[in-house]
Structure 1
Amino acid sequence: MKPSSSLSFHLLLLLLLPQLLMAVYAGGPYQKAPDDDGDQLDKHYYARSCPSFEAIVGSKIAHWHSVDPTLSPGLIRLLFHDCAVRGCDASILLDNPGGERRSPVSATLRGFHVIDDIKAEIERRCPKTVSCADILVAAARDATLMVGGPYWGNVYGRRDGRVSIAQQAEAIPKGRESITHLIDLFDSMGLDILDLVVLSGAHTVGRATCQSIQYRLYNYTGVPGKSDPSINPRYLNYLKRKCRWPSAYVDLDAATPTKFDNAYYRNLDNRMGLLSTDQLLHSDSRTGPLVAALSSQPMVFVHQFARSMKNLADTMVLEGDEGEIRTNCNFVNKY
């Protein structure tokens, strides 16, 4: 239920925070109710058929993180792009003309070769057993660990989708949407406003292209030379120096760009949100109280991030005959 006013949401937040704090000390991540999507998923799904599955994923992610640490945030983002379109069915991995992977929105996605490497090793050990969707879910969790984020126990048994449509990927947020649009998108995925604010905290690591923010620096509201007045002036000067060219990259978190922490939310307090949608989370009355709470409660953020990532990974999953187990994550099976 959406809050009717800023005051009522503050009251709801006061009730919510003690429960979150108790959960930090009382036990593991949130488990979905049996009637939610993914009710047949099981943490022991591969215990007999591929017992080395998670060990293989963990070893490969550690290797690739040592080669290029920026791949880890990329894998977290890759999972979100997959789950936000048609659910967590590995449709983003399909490399076919007209697919999600070929959409302009997906142009800067990274980590496909990491998933291919993991899949190749798993096929050697456990052929035709582990889905690409489950590999991506496990890889995003272990990538989070590599950047200092929390561990959570995954459940498995997803099937891979056979359909991938580039036009549907256009629904992925680009950083210029309204908060109402984002709330509606997350609601369509079975996620709530808390998941929205917490999963946005993944921007504590990773980078964005300067092309995605140049309008805020040089052409705000279509006025040449105008900058977004919500940007901290010192931060604005830094971004203008950093983003002279659209192809350049800039850290999403200017304070601690390689560390998983709640500095992302403190940056919003200081008007240092890189994307417009980041800063709007702070100013909107529906999300602002949660930003303030997460800014001052780092342990709540860490624990809730694990919960929200589990919620994301259980979004509209395919099970049983609804999908397949691809032998190559880039293509649907030919048999």
Structure 2
Amino acid sequence: MAKQQQLAAVVVTLLLALLGPAACQDASTNGCLGRWRRDTAQGPLQPCPRIQSPAPVLRSSGLSVGYYSSSCPGAEEIVRKAVAEAVGSDPGVGAGLIRLFFHDCFVRGCDASVLLNSPDAERFGIPNLSLRGFEVIDAAKTALQTACPNKVSCADIVAFAARDATYLLTNNKTFFDVPSGRYDGRVSFANETLPNLPGPFSDLQDLKDSFASKGLSTSDMVTLSGAHSIGRAQCRFFLDRFAGRNDSFAQSLRAQCGGNDGTMVAQDYVTPDFLDSQYFKNVGKYVLFTSDAVLNSTDTMGLVTDYANNNQGLWEGKFAKAMVKMGYIGVKTSADGEIRAECSKVNY
């Protein structure tokens, strides 16, 4: 896994070098690279064009809790077992599974398009090069194909895995029902990731617009940002922001990074292995990304303060609801999707 992360870091570096700062100034798809690279001195970035995913359909989507109770009764337990085995040995995989769900849903909807493995697929878009958890989804799918072949979609496995990772990583063991019945998409393009996924350099308006384009509110955006209370981030995505600071936190970050852009640092320095509301206590001075720091604004600080001051329970409950709501984005049906036999490729 360490070698895979190092390779991803090298690929990112090469891509950024090839695209260069000029690529971040145009109004094409590459103009969105500003969300995923350092700012330059060449002036403000242009607004990012977006490929709109359908807004959530909360009533007639065809999703339901217990969707597999007849066709594959043990489906959710099989996924839960695969997730528990992986997260038990590495909590970072759990953070990766939650992120995988987010990155899937924001590009073409929650249709497992992020799992497709072809040279121009989403998983090879710049925002997705460091995604983790693919092997957990594959393990769950293999077990499900044995138990009930071609019954459980990869899209639902991704949603179940994110829910189960949340349960394992939260202090209060937050469990929530996940409506299921999604079908898998057949289309996946790397060049759709930059226009659709907010990045570590996104400002507040970009975050609001990105989430609104998917049918999610500013409140949902703040709530889901709490997922940054676990996981690790590459120094390339935050260290420049601390160049002018000499407090102990900034000094610690510089020491951990050691001048290496690809070094990984915990996103929450207080409780790095737990998904909790500590993130909201850190907002302001002790978060890594620009996209985290901008939540310290008049538009969002009220909710940030509520989450920081309410001993975990308030945020956990809202996080569960926001995850369920996100899971309705762009849901595919039998009319425009399929149940893949293998999550990494479409059926033939």
Aligned ranges 1:134-283 → 2 under 5 Å: 134-148=156-170, 149-170=173-194, 171-218=196-243, 227=244, 233-244=247-258, 245-269=260-284, 271-282=285-296
Structure 1: gaps spanning 5 or more residues: 1-33, 219-226
Q: In the TM superposition, what whole-angstrom CA distance separates every residue of 1:263-294 from its partner, at most 9, and x where no partner exists?
A: 1111115x101111111101x22111111111
Which residue identity does 1:332 align to in structure 2?
V
Cα deviations across residues 47-81 of structure 1 (Å, max 9, x unaligned)? 11100101101111111112322100010001000
In structure 2, the CA distance between the partners of 1:211 and 1:38, relative to structure 1 (3 Å rule), is farther
| 1:187 counterpart letter in structure 2 | A
Cα distance in structure 2, aligned partners of 1:91 and 1:35: 19
What code does the residue aligned with 2:276 have? D
Q: How far apart are 1:217 and its partner, in Å?
A: 3.4
Aligned runs of 1:281-296 on 2, under 5 Å?
281-282=295-296, 284-296=297-309
Q: How far 1:319 moved relative to its partner?
A: 1.5
Is the Cα–Cα contact under 8 Å of residues 38 and 316 in structure 1 kept in the other structure? Answer: no
Offset at residue 38 of structure 1 (A): 5.8
Offset at residue 35 of structure 1 (A)? 5.4
Equivalent of 2:342 in 322, 328, 331:
328
Kept in 2: contact 1:90–1:161 (CA 8 A): yes
User: What do the CA deviations read for 1:210-268 (whole angstroms, capped 9, x no partner)?
Assistant: 111132234xxxxxxxx3x6xx8221111111112111111111111112221111111
* Aligned amino acid, residue 309 of structure 2: S
Report the counterpart of residue 13 of structure 1 in structure 2.
none
Superposed CA RMSD in Å reads 1.5
Counterpart position of 2:113:
91
Give me the whole-angstrom Cα distance separating, in 2, the residues matched to 1:111 and 1:35: 27
Q: TM-score, normalised by structure 2?
A: 0.80
Structure 1 pair 274–38 and aligned structure 2 pair: CA distance change class (3 A): farther
- Contact kept in structure 1, 2:169 and 2:273, CA below 8 Å: yes
Q: What is residue 117 of structure 1 aligned with on the other side?
A: 139
Contact persistence 1:38–1:314 (CA under 8 A): no
Q: Given the superposition, is the C-alpha separation of residues 97 and 50 from structure 1 closer, same or farther in structure 2, using an over 3 Å criterion? A: same
Q: Does structure 2 retain, via aligned residues, the 8 Å contact 1:37–1:314?
A: no
* SS state at 2:294 partner: helix
Q: Which amino acid aligns with 2:80?
A: G
Using a 3 Å threshold, how does the CA distance of structure 1 residues 262 and 35 change in structure 2: closer, same or farther?
A: closer
Listed one character per residue, the Cα deviations across residues 11-61 of structure 1 (whole Å, up to 9, x for unaligned) are: xxxxxxxxxxxxxxxxxxxxxxx9537631111211111001011011111
Structure 2 vs 1, CA of residues 197 and 38 (structure 1 numbering), >3 Å: closer, same or farther? farther
**1:145–1:151: 8 Å Cα contact kept in structure 2?**
yes
**Structure 2 residues not aligned, in runs of 5+:** 1-55
1:79 aligns to 2:101 (yes or no): yes
Secondary structure of the structure 1 residue equivalent to 2:177: coil
Show the 5 A alignment for 1:25-40: 36=58, 39-40=61-62
Q: Distance in 2 between matches of 1:321 and 1:129?
A: 16
**Equivalent pair of 2:57/2:329 in contact (CA under 8 Å):** no
Q: Deviations over 1:106-147 (max 9, x none)?
A: 111011011001000000111011100000000010011111
Q: Does 1:56 align with 2:78?
A: yes
Q: In the TM superposition, what is the alpha-carbon distance from 1:155 to its structure 2 partner?
A: 0.7
Q: Is the 8 A contact 1:37 1:316 kept in 2?
A: no
Q: Does the C-alpha gap of structure 1 residues 77 and 35 become closer, same or farther in structure 2, counting only changes over 3 Å?
A: closer
Residue 200 of structure 1: how far off its partner (Å): 0.2
Structure 1 length as normaliser, TM-score? 0.83
**CA deviation after TM superposition for structure 1 residue 299, in Å:** 1.4
| Amino acid aligned to 1:278 | D
Instruction: Provide, for residues 288-323 of structure 1, a one-character-per-residue CA deviation record: whole Å limited to 9, x for no partner.
Output: 111111111121101101001101111111122120
Question: Separation in 2 of the partners of 1:325 and 1:258?
Answer: 34
Tell me if structure 2 keeps the 8 A contact 1:37–1:317: no
Q: Distance in 1 between matches of 2:60 and 2:216?
A: 14
Task: Figure out how many residues of one structure are paired with residues of the other and give that number.
Answer: 288
Find out whether 1:305 has 2:319 as its counterpart: yes
Aligned-pair identity (%) = 38
Q: Which amino acid aligns with 1:316?
A: G
Match of 1:14 in 2: none
**Aligned partners of 1:256, 1:163: CA distance in 2, in Å?**
38
Q: C-alpha separation between the residues in 2 aligned to 1:51 and 1:185?
A: 37
